[in-house]
Amino acid sequence: MAVEHFIIAGDLAADSFLPWITRHMQRLGLRGVPVRRADGQVEITLSGPPDLIDAMELGVSLGPIDVWVEAIGRRRLENGEVS
Residue 63's pLDDT is: 85
Structural domain spans, the chain: 2-76
Assign 80 a pLDDT band (cuts: 50, 70, 90). Answer: low
What's the pLDDT tens digit per position in 10-66? 999 999 999 999 999 999 999 999 999 999 999 999 999 999 999 999 999 998 999
In this structure, how many other beta carbons lie within 10 angstroms of the beta carbon of residue 82? 7
Report the Cα 36 to chain-centroid distance in Å.
11
Residue 66's region, left for phi above 0, alpha for psi from -120 to 50, else beta, is alpha
- CATH number assigned to the domain covering 2-76: 3.30.70.100
